[in-house]
A and B are shown apart, each in its own frame.
Chain A
Amino acid sequence: MLSFLSPLFLAGAAAAAVPIVLHLLKREPETRVQFAAVKLLKKAPVEHTRRRHLRELILLALRVTALVLLALAFARPFFATGAAIGSTGVTIVALDTSYSMSAPGRFERAQQLARDAIDRAPANNLVGVVTFTDSAETTAKPDGDRVLARAAVDRAAPGFGATRYRGALSAASQNLDGRHGTIVVVTDLQESGWDAGDRVKVPANTAIEVADVGALPPNLAVTAARPLPDRIVATVHNAGPRPRDARVHLQIDGRPAGEAIVSLGANQSADATIAGAPRGTRAVVTIDDPDGIAADNARYVVLGGGSRPSVLVVTGSGDLSREAFYVQHALAAGAAGDAAFQVVGVSGAQLGSWTDDSVAANAAVLLLSTRGLERRGRELLAAYAQSGGGLLIAAGSEIDGDIVADVLGTGAALKVVAPTGSRPGVHTLAPADARHPVFQPFAGTTATLGLVKFQNASRIGGSGCQTLARFTTGDPALIECPAGEGRALVIASDLDNKWSDFPVHATFVPFVHEAVRYVASARAHASDYLVGDAPAGVKRVPGFATVPEGRASNPLRAGSAMRLIAVNVDPREADPARLTIEEFTSAVAPLKEAGSSEARVEVRQQEDRQHLWQYAMAVMALLLVAEGLLAARTA
C-alpha cells in the first residue's frame, strides 16, 4: 500500500493544473483566414497539424506528470507495511497469566473471556494475543486469522510471575503498530499490578477494555520465610473473609524438619515459628491450601552463611580494625546478631596479587584508601567495575583523586580534589533526592542526616555523575557515577570519624548498608530472588537453582564458582486488593505521540529503505529532458 511520509506536499500536485489551465487558456478558437494563395500551400506539409496537436498533448502530459512526480517526491512515498498501515484496526487480547490466575477454574474463565473478546472483535480487525505476568509475551501476532489467536489463548497457562500491567499494555501498544484498535485486558484487576505512580501511555486511538476474571478466592499464602540461628519464621497471609488455621511444614534438603499451626484472622498475616537450628542448605516452607492458589503455598530459602554477600574493604594496610573500624562494624551489624555482610579487608598493595575471580566474588568494594594501590590493583578494580561491580568510595585523606578516576574510567570523568585546609567550618548534608534507594531507610526522617557534622570534605564531581546529596555549602556530598556496567557511590568525606562524626550517628549503619546494597545491586549476589527477577538462565519457576558467581551474562565468569539461589513467587500477587475498571483505566494515559511517534519512526525507516522519492525525481528528470526535446521540435 502506497503511503506518504509528508502527505501535505501532495498539495503541490495541484501545480499540475497550471499547465492544464495554460493549455486550455491558450487553446483559442480555431483561426480561420480567407487567403488568396491557398494553392501555394497545397504542397506544404499541412498534415503536421494533427501531429502537432498530438505533440502538444504529449508535452502537456509530460509537464503535468513531471509536476505530479515532483510533488510525489517531496511527499516521500513508500510502500507501507506493518506499522505504516494505519487503516486496519487491531484488537489485542492481553491475557493475565500471573499465578493468581492459577486457582481452580479461574484461568479457564480467563480463557473464555479472551475467546469472547476475540469473537467480538470487528470483522475487519486483526487480532493478536499477548500474555503477561512480570513480563509480556506476544503469543499471537495481529492477524486476520482468528484461529491463531484462539489457539494462542488455548495454549496459554498460568505461570509463576506477578501481575504487571505496564509491560502488558506496552507490549499490546507495540503490537498495534500505530494502528487504531482495542486492547482487551483479561485480568483479575489486582491492585498490586500497578506500581506506585505507574502510568502507561498508549496511542490516543486505542480503546482499553477490561474483562474482569473476578476476585481472588479465599487463599493462604506463605509470604516470607526467614531462617534464624535457632528457628525458621514463616509469614503466612490469609486472603479470605473468614479466619483460618494454617498448617506450616518445613523441609530441609528434602527431609521434613518440623511443622507448625498458625491461626489467621480474615485478611491478616501471622508468623509461624518452627523451632530448631536449621541445618542444611535448602529449606522449603509449605502450607496446605488446596482450594487457593497453589503457587504461593511454598517458600524456598537458602540456608547457611554463604548467602551473606561479601564486601571487600580496601585500606592502606588492610587492617580493618584500625583503618576501617566503624565501617567493619557497621557492615557486620545485622538483625538479631546475624551479620548482614561478610567483610573482607585488603590493603591496596596486597590487592595487586588478587585475581579477577577473587575480587568478583564480592558484592561490593569499599575503597577507603588508594595508598599502595598499584597498577595491577587499579586494573582489577576497574575490571570489577566494568563488569558490573559496585564501589563505595570514601573520599577522605587517603584517597587520591587521579587513582579513583583511573579506576572508574573515562565514563564518569570523576574529579576528587582534596581539601586545601582553608575551607571553612562545619557542614551538614541534605539529600538532593530523598527518593533515592540510598536514602530509603530515612524516608520521612532525612533530617536526621542533617545532624551529621562534616569538619572537612573533598570536592567531588564528574560530568557523568548524579548528585544525590549536597552539603549546606552547595558542594556535592554524595554522588553516583557510572563505571562500565557497574556503579560507584562517592562520598566527599571519610567514614572513619576523622573528617566527620558520621560513624557515631545512628544513621551511619543504615546508610552504609543501603549504600553497599545499592552499589551491589548491579551485581547478582543475593540468594533470594523473585520469579520475575531471577537471573538469566534460571527457569521462571519457584524452587532452587544454581548460578555462576558474579554476572552470569559475563562470559569471562562462566564456569567459575557456582552459588545456590532460591526463587520464589512475588508475595504481592497474593494480595487480594483489587482495582475497579475505572481505577485501572485511569492509569492508562492516551498519548497521541506515544504510539504515533513509534509509528512515525517505523514509517520513516520504511521510507528510508525504499527511497522511492529518488526514483520519482529520476523519472521526473527524464520526463523534463523528453519534454525539452519534444518542445524544441514543436517550437
Chain B
Amino acid sequence: MPWAAHDRPFLDPAVVARLGTLELKARTIVEGFLSGLHRSPFKGFSVEFAEYRQYIPGDDLSTIDWKVFARSDRYYIKKFEEETNLDCHLLLDVSGSMGYGAHHGITKFEYGAVLAASLGYLMNRQRDAVGLTAFDEDIVSMLPASARPGHLTALLVTLDRLRTGRQTNVSKPLHQMANTLTKRGIVVLISDLLDDPDEVIRGLKHFQFRGIDVIVFHVLDHDEIEFPFERATRFEDLETTEEIMAVPGAVRDHYLREIGGLIEKYRRELGANGIDYQLLDTNRPLELALMSYLSTRSRSY
C-alpha cells in the first residue's frame, strides 16, 4: 500500500451527514483524509513541475526543456504545459432506492452525494477536471468535467439540489454517458446497483471499450447487507410501491443468499473486466472510498 492512515479514526458517515453543507462535508473528509497520509500520492499530476525525464525518441520535441539542455547538454522533457491531468466523471444514482437509510441518519443517496462531493473536492484540489452526472432511469442532471477553480462550487450546488425519485435503470444512462465521453478519463459510478447486474456490467464495459477507467462504488445500507429485521414486516418498495409481507426470520436466509449473490456477481465480473469494485456499507467511513479511488488512480496514472 502506497500510503497509510494515522491512527486517527475515520469520520462516522452519520456525523458527516449532519455537517452543514456539502462543501464543508467534502472538505472535512478530504482534508482530514489527506492530512493523514504520510506522503503525497499526487506526484506527476500537478500543473506545477513534477520531474524531469530523459528524452527518448518519439517524444514530442516541444516538451524538451531547453534551459536544462543549455546547462547540461542533455535532453530532458517535462509535462507541465498540460492544464489538467484527466477528466473524472462522477455518476451518481438518484433513483428511489437510494433514498433508503434515513433511520440510520444517512441515506444511501446522502452517502453517495457526500462521497461524490468528497471525490470532486479531491479531484479539484488535484487540478483534475471533474464532472457530475445524476441519473435514475435517465440522466437527470449533468455537469461537464472542468478543472476551473469555480467548478467545484457548481458541482456542490448541483449535488445539493439533487433529490431521489424514480425507478432505477442503471445501464441506460451508462450507455448514454459512454457515448458522450470522448476523452480518456475515469468514470466513478456511485449506485446501489439494484438493477439487472448483466445490464449494469454491460454498460460499464461500454466505458472500458471507450478507454475510460471505471470505478464502481456499490453503496448499500447496512440493513440491505445484513437484513436485521425481526418482526413480521410489510416491505414497501421505494421505487414501485410494491409491497411484500414477510416474516424476516423466514426469508432472511433467502434474502442474504440473493444479496450475497448479487454482490459476488458484481465483484467477480467487474474484477474480471478490470473494473474496480468497492462495496460500501453506509455505516463505513467515506475515507475508505477515497482510498479506493486513489488506489485506482495511482495505478492508472
User: Hey, which chain B residues are within 8 Å of A41, CB to CB?
Assistant: 235, 244, 246, 251, 254-255, 258
**Chain A residues within an 8 Å CB radius of B192:** 36
When chains A and B are docked, how far (Å) is the Cα of A46 from the Cα of B235?
11
Docked complex: A27-77 residues within 8 A CB-CB of B: 28, 30-46, 48-49, 52
Does B194 count as interface, using CB distance less than 8 angstroms?
yes
Inter-chain CA distance A41–B237, complex, in Å, is 10
A52 to B249, CA, bound (A): 11
Tell which of B96, B98, B100, B255 touches A40, judged by Cβ atoms closer than 8 Å. Answer: B255
What mask results when residues 235 to 272 of chain B are scored 1 for a CB within 8 Å of chain A, else 0?
Answer: 11111101111110111001100110010000000000
* Contact across chains for A35 and B236 when beta carbons are under 8 A apart: yes
Tell me the nearest residue of chain A to B102, going by C-beta: A34
If over half of B's interface residues share one DSSP class (helix, strand or loop), that class is named, otherwise mixed; here it is mixed
Q: How far is the CA of A319 from the CA of B272 in the complex (A)?
A: 140
The distance from the CB of B98 to the nearest CB of chain A, in whole angstroms, is: 8
Q: Which residues of B contact A32 (CB under 8 A)?
A: 233-234, 236
The yes or no answer to B5 lying at the interface (CB within 8 A) is no
B231 interfacial by beta-carbon distance below 8 Å: yes
Q: Are A37 and B250 in contact (CB under 8 A)?
A: no
Contact of A37 with B246 in the complex, beta carbons under 8 Å: no
Contact with B along A438-453 (1 / 0, CB 8 A): 0000000000000000
- Given A34-B100, A39-B194, A46:B229 Cβ within 8 A: no
Tell yes or no: B89 within 8 A of A by CB: no
CA distance A30 to B236 in the complex (A): 12
Query: Which partner residue on chain A sits nearest B95 by CB separation?
Result: A36
On whether the beta carbons of A46 and B258 are closer than 8 Å, the reply is no
Chain B residues in 8 Å Cβ range of A36: 96-100, 108, 192, 194, 221, 224, 237-239
* In the complex, chain A residues whose CB is within 8 Å of the CB of B262: 40
Residue numbers in A under 8 Å from B37 (CB-CB):
none
Complex alpha-carbon distance, A440 and B20, angstroms? 119
- A residues within 8 A CB of B238? 34-36, 38
How long is the Cα–Cα vector from A28 to B231 in the complex, in angstroms? 9
Residues of B within 8 A of A42 (CB): 244
How many A-B contacts if CB must be within 8 Å? 99
Q: Is the CB of A52 within 8 A of B232?
A: yes
| A residues near B251, Cβ cutoff 8 Å | 41, 44-46, 48
| Given A31-B233, A32-B234, A35-B235, residue A48 in contact with residue B244 (CB < 8 A) | no
- Taking the nearest CB of chain A, how far is it from the CB of B66, in angstroms? 60
Among A31, A34, A43, A45, point to the contact of B231 (Cβ < 8 A).
A31
Given the known interface contacts A28-B231, A36-B194, A38-B242, the answer about A43 and B254 at a Cβ–Cβ threshold of 8 Å is yes
> Which of chain B's residues 220-234 have a Cβ closer than 8 Å to chain A?
221, 223-224, 229, 231-234
* Distance to closest chain A CB from B281 (angstroms): 14
**Cβ A31 vs Cβ B258 within 8 A:** no
Query: CA of A208 to CA of B251 in the docked complex: distance in angstroms?
Result: 76
A28 CA to B223 CA, complexed, in Å? 21
A43: min CB distance to chain B, Å: 7
Chain B residue numbers with a CB within 8 Å of A37 are 97, 194, 224, 255, 258-259
Contacts of A49 in B (CB 8 A): 232, 245-247, 250
- Near B by CB (< 8 A), chain A positions 238-255 give none
The interface residues of chain B lying within 8 Å CB-to-CB of A38 are: 235-238, 240, 242-244
Of all chain A residues, the one with the shortest Cβ separation from B96 is A36
The interface residues of chain B lying within 8 Å CB-to-CB of A34 are 99-100, 236-238
Q: A38-B244, A40-B262, A46-B245 are in contact. Are A33 and B250 (CB under 8 A)?
A: no
Interchain CA distance A486-B48 in the complex, whole Å: 139
Instruction: Tally chain B residues at the interface, Cβ within 8 Å.
Output: 36
**In the complex with contacts A49-B247, A52-B247, A43-B258 CB distance below 8 A:** yes
Report the bound CA distance from A13 to B239 in whole Å.
Answer: 51
A402, chain B: closest CB distance, angstroms: 88
Contacts of A45 in B (CB 8 A): 250-251, 254
Q: A33, B259: Cβ atoms under 8 Å?
A: no
CB A8 to nearest CB in B, in angstroms, measures 40
Q: Which of B98, B235, B247, B255 contacts A48 (CB 8 A)?
A: B247
Given the complex of chains A and B, what is the CA–CA distance between A34 and B250 in angstroms?
A: 19
B residues 95-115 touching A (CB-CB < 8 Å): 96-100, 108
Cα separation A456 to B237 with both chains bound (whole Å):
117
The docked-state distance in angstroms from the alpha carbon of A34 to that of B229 is 12
Bound Cα distance A562, B34 (Å): 136
Q: How far is the CA of A48 from the CA of B253 in the complex (A)?
A: 14
A36 to B96, CA, bound (A): 8
Bound CA–CA A35/B232 (angstroms) = 14
Known pairs A30-B234, A32-B234, A35-B235; A46 contacts B244 (CB<8 A) = yes
Residue on A nearest B235 in the bound complex, by CB: A35
Report the Cα distance A42→B259, complex, angstroms.
12
Q: What distance in Å separates the Cβ of A561 from its nearest Cβ neighbour in chain B?
A: 96
Bound CA–CA A38/B234 (angstroms): 10
Report yes or no: B234 in contact with A44, Cβ–Cβ below 8 A: no
> A187 CA to B241 CA in the complex, in Å?
93
The CA-CA distance from A42 to B254 in the complex, in Å, is 10
Q: How far is the CA of A486 from the CA of B262 in the complex (A)?
A: 104
Question: Across the two chains, which residue of chain B brings its CB closest to A28?
Answer: B231
Q: Is the CB of B250 within 8 A of A44?
A: yes
Closest Cβ of chain B: how far from A29's Cβ, in Å? 10
Query: Which residues of A577-635 have CB atoms within 8 Å of chain B's CB atoms?
Result: 635
> Known interface pairs A28-B231, A40-B262. Does A35 touch B255 (Cβ–Cβ under 8 Å)?
no
Give Cα distance in the complex from A552 to B99, angstroms: 109
Q: Would you call B250 and A48 a contact (CB within 8 A)?
A: yes
Mask of A104-135 contacts with B, CB within 8 angstroms, 1/0: 00000000000000000000000000000000
Find chain A residues with CB under 8 A from B245 CB: 46, 49
Q: Closest Cβ of chain B: how far from A257's Cβ, in Å? A: 111
Chain B hits for A43, CB < 8 A:
254, 258
A46 touching B246, Cβ below 8 Å? yes
Interface string of A1-44 (1 = CB under 8 A from B): 00000000000000000000000000010111111111111111
How distant is the Cα of A437 from the Cα of B15 in the complex, in angstroms? 109
Chain B residue with the shortest CB-CB distance to A35: B235
Q: In the bound complex, how far is the Cα of B177 from the Cα of A267, in angstroms?
A: 141
B254 to A31, Cβ gap below 8 A?
no
A31 to B, closest residue via Cβ: B233
CB <8 Å contact, B236 and A44: no
Q: How far is the CB of A544 from chain B (nearest CB, A)?
A: 97
- A52: chain B residues within 8 A (beta carbon): 232, 247, 250
User: Max chain B CB contacts within 10 Å: which of A32, A36, A45?
Assistant: A36
- Please indicate the chain B residues that have their CB under 8 angstroms from the CB of A28 in the complex: 231
Residue of chain B at shortest CB distance from A50: B245
CA distance A46 to B247 in the complex (A): 7
Chain B residues near A33: list those with CB within 8 A.
229, 233-236
- The residues of A that contact B240 with a CB separation of less than 8 Å are 38
Scan residues 157-173 of chain B and give those whose CB is less than 8 A from a CB of chain A: none
User: Which residue on chain B has the smallest CB distance to residue A38?
Assistant: B237
Given contacts A33-B235, A35-B236, 8 further A-B contacts (CB under 8 A): A33-B229, A35-B237, A36-B99, A42-B244, A43-B258, A46-B246, A48-B250, A49-B232
Q: Which residues of A contact B (CB under 8 A)?
A: 28, 30-46, 48-49, 52, 635
A-B contact pairs, 28 of them (CB 8 A): A31-B231, A31-B233, A31-B234, A32-B234, A32-B236, A33-B234, A33-B235, A35-B223, A35-B235, A36-B97, A36-B100, A36-B224, A36-B238, A37-B224, A37-B258, A38-B235, A38-B240, A41-B235, A42-B244, A43-B254, A44-B246, A44-B254, A44-B255, A44-B258, A46-B247, A46-B250, A49-B245, A52-B250
| Chain B residues with a Cβ under 8 A of chain A | 96-100, 108, 192, 194, 221, 223-224, 229, 231-240, 242-247, 249-251, 254-255, 258-259, 262
